[in-house]
């Protein structure tokens, strides 16, 4: 049974039912119990994590880490930073994105290390950086006396490959979570990339996947079974609405006389941002698109003929402010070419905001019986049709919004999923120390 399926499980000596939400009393009892429990130390190795300079990078990781710390788990994060040759940093801005981020900082009570390693363009295609990343992780652990009970790596490549080496060196078990691009894209770069992916997945003590589609594809590529544990979201944030849509638009200086389609994420071609911008040509003049985020596509989007009239760009926005832009809009659009389990879609459904999204990665898992609401990737025509259906055709009825909301509540609550993740940590430790 996949984690999140309906069924009775035990945690902290208490039984509860998944798939039907999670009670407040249960959470309180578990937190009390954990204060008396073994203080587990977990080392996270990931390629993305928020910082003051990049508050939106890997924010879903931070949300999960915060939930784990509330359960009494001590989490340390090592997020290795690629250091490119100076010439490349001088020539291209994209190789300077990590400049200004400190090597170590405390963020919301969690210590985050950002050691650098030598990186080369296209390394995931032909020269896996596993060993270089592992070396800098081990040096950081030695310098700061980091002694975890278990390692949790995120993304099979490159973090998973590095975690495998680190775990072997310090003789600790490790868990791998598959998120999307590491399954859907990276293994197909080259024969060496596929081999690196297979090695990471097969060598981990335990493998998690954020969606059913990733679990299926990972098994096809490696023969290894994984357990489905979706990304959790702090759903309470979207239940604390203090301003009306009109008030939000006025404060955020958004057009009050437009029907607003919002995109939230990194501005790249693979996110379908150009198709979304092009869709404006086939839509009524009263419809505008708001892009919340930053990325390499920013410059080209600014050249759109409707820039600052029907196409708006916010730039990088702190995570706690993203909610306001979503609630100020009429519909969320995420026309990505590929996805894992996009947090922003979960958040939109939790806020009962209609979603227009491509049927890629784990997205169909979110919609269940309402998968027909999804569209094909790289299709401007589909975007135009679906935006009109949602804004003028009442495609998202009240009952559909409520049912999708209940689905999110049952399977994607951050505290719910953190408890399940803690159970996986304990299970892995038990099976590797027997």
| pLDDT tens-digit readout, 197-221 | 999 999 999 999 998 989 999 999 9
pLDDT band at residue 240 under the 50/70/90 scheme? confident
- Domain ranges, ordered by start, for the chain: 7-232+413-433, 235-411
Architecture of domain 235-411: 3-Layer(aba) Sandwich (3.40)
Interior angle at CA 122, CA 121 and CA 127, nearest 5: 100
Distances (CA, A) of 94 to 36, 50, 55, 100, 267: 47, 17, 17, 14, 13
Cis preceding-peptide flag for 415 (omega within 30 of 0): no
Share of the chain above pLDDT 90, in %: 70
Q: How far apart are CA 416 and CA 21, in angstroms?
A: 8
> Measured between alpha carbons, how far is residue 223 from residues 190, 216, 415, 416 in Å?
19, 10, 31, 29
Q: Please list, residue by residue across 33-63, b when 16 or more beta carbons sit within 10 angstroms of its beta carbon and e when fewer do.
A: ebeeeeebebbbbbbbbbbeebbbbbbbbbb
Q: What percent of the chain has pLDDT over 70?
A: 85
Q: What is the model's pLDDT at position 17?
A: 34
Distance (Å, whole) CA 405 – CA 390 = 17
User: CA neighbours within 13 Å on the CB side: how many for 20?
Assistant: 8
Q: Residue 90 pLDDT > 80, yes or no?
A: no
Q: From residue 146, how far is each of 112, 116, 297 by CA, in Å?
A: 12, 17, 39
pLDDT at 93: 55
Quick one: pLDDT at residue 228?
A: 95
Whether 25 has a pLDDT exceeding 70, the answer reads no
Answer whether 7-232+413-433 and 235-411 agree in fold. Answer: yes
Asked whether residue 251 carries a pLDDT value surpassing 90, the answer given is: yes
Asked if pLDDT for residue 417 goes beyond 90, the answer is yes
pLDDT number for residue 99: 59
Q: What angle do CA 179, 407, 425 make, to 5 degrees?
A: 45
| Distance separating alpha carbons of residues 332 and 346, to the nearest angstrom | 11
pLDDT given at position 34: 43
| pLDDT at position 56 | 78
Confidence at residue 432, expressed as pLDDT on a 0 to 100 scale = 84
Name the 3-class secondary structure at 47: coil
Query: Would the pLDDT of 94 be above 60?
Result: no
pLDDT given at position 434: 57
Q: What is the rounded average pLDDT of the residues 426-434?
A: 87
- Residues 170, 149 contacting (CB under 8 angstroms): no
Q: What is the pLDDT of residue 19?
A: 39
DSSP class of residue 231 equals P
| Segment 183-190 mean pLDDT | 90
**Listed ranges 50-59, 91-100, 163-172, 235-244; the one with the highest mean pLDDT:** 163-172
Task: Look up the CATH architecture of domain 7-232+413-433.
Answer: 3-Layer(aba) Sandwich (3.40)
Note the pLDDT of residue 35.
43
Closest CA relative to residue 208, chosen from 174, 184, 169: 174
Give which of 69, 70, 10 is closest to 42, Cα–Cα.
Answer: 69
Instruction: Kindly report the pTM of this predicted structure.
Output: 0.80
Enumerate the H helices of 92-244 as residue ranges: 123-126, 130-144, 161-170, 181-184, 191-203, 212-222
Return the pLDDT at 344: 94
Name the more confident of 56 and 211. Answer: 211
Cβ-based neighbour number of residue 245 at 10 Å: 15
The predicted model gives 365-371 an average pLDDT of 91
Q: Which tokens in the block code for residue 381? A: 């025509």
Mean of the per-residue pLDDT values of the chain? 87
Q: Distance between CA 368 and CA 328 in Å, rounded?
A: 26
């Amino acid at each position: 049974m996949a984690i999140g399926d309906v069924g009775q499980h035990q945690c902290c000596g208490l039984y509860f039912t998944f798939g039907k939400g999670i009670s407040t009393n249960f959470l309180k009892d578990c937190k009390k119990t954990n204060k008396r429990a073994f203080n587990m130390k977990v080392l996270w190795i990931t390629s993305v994590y928020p910082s003051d300079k990049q508050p939106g990078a890997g924010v879903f990781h931070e949300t999960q880490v915060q939930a784990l710390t509330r359960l009494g788990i001590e989490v340390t994060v090592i997020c290795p930073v690629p250091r490119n040759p100076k010439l490349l940093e001088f020539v291209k801005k994209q190789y300077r994105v990590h400049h200004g981020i400190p090597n170590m900082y405390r963020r919301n009570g969690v210590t985050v290390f950002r050691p650098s390693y030598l990186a080369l363009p296209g390394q995931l295609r032909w020269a896996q950086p596993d060993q270089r990343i592992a070396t800098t992780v081990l040096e950081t652990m030695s310098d700061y006396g980091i002694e975890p009970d278990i390692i949790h790596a995120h993304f099979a490549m490159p973090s998973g490959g590095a975690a495998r080496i680190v775990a072997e060196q310090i003789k600790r078990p490790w868990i791998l979570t598959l998120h999307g691009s590491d399954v859907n894209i990276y293994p197909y770069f080259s024969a060496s990339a596929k081999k690196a992916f297979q090695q990471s997945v097969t060598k981990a003590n335990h493998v998690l996947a954020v969606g059913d589609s990733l679990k299926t594809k990972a098994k096809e590529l490696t023969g290894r079974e994984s357990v489905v544990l979706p990304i959790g979201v702090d759903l309470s944030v979207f239940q604390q609405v203090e301003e009306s849509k009109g008030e939000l638009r006025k404060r955020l200086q958004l057009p009050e006389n437009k029907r607003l389609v919002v995109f939230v994420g990194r501005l790249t071609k693979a996110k379908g941002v150009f198709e979304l911008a092009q869709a404006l040509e086939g839509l009524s003049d009263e419809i505008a698109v708001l892009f919340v985020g930053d990325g390499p596509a920013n410059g080209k989007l600014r050249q759109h003929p409707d820039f600052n009239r029907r196409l708006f760009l916010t730039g990088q926005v702190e995570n706690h402010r993203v909610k306001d832009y979503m609630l100020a809009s009429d519909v969320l659009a995420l026309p990505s070419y590929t996805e894992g389990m996009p947090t922003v879609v979960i958040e939109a459904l939790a806020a009962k905001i209609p979603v227009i999204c491509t049927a890629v990665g784990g997205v169909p898992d979110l919609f269940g019986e309402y998968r027909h609401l999804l569209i094909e990737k790289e299709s401007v025509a589909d975007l135009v049709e679906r935006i009109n259906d949602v804004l003028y055709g009442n495609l998202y009825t009240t009952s559909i919004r409520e049912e999708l909301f209940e689905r999110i509540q049952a399977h994607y609550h951050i505290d719910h999923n953190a408890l399940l993740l803690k159970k996986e940590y304990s299970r892995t430790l038990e099976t590797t120390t027997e």
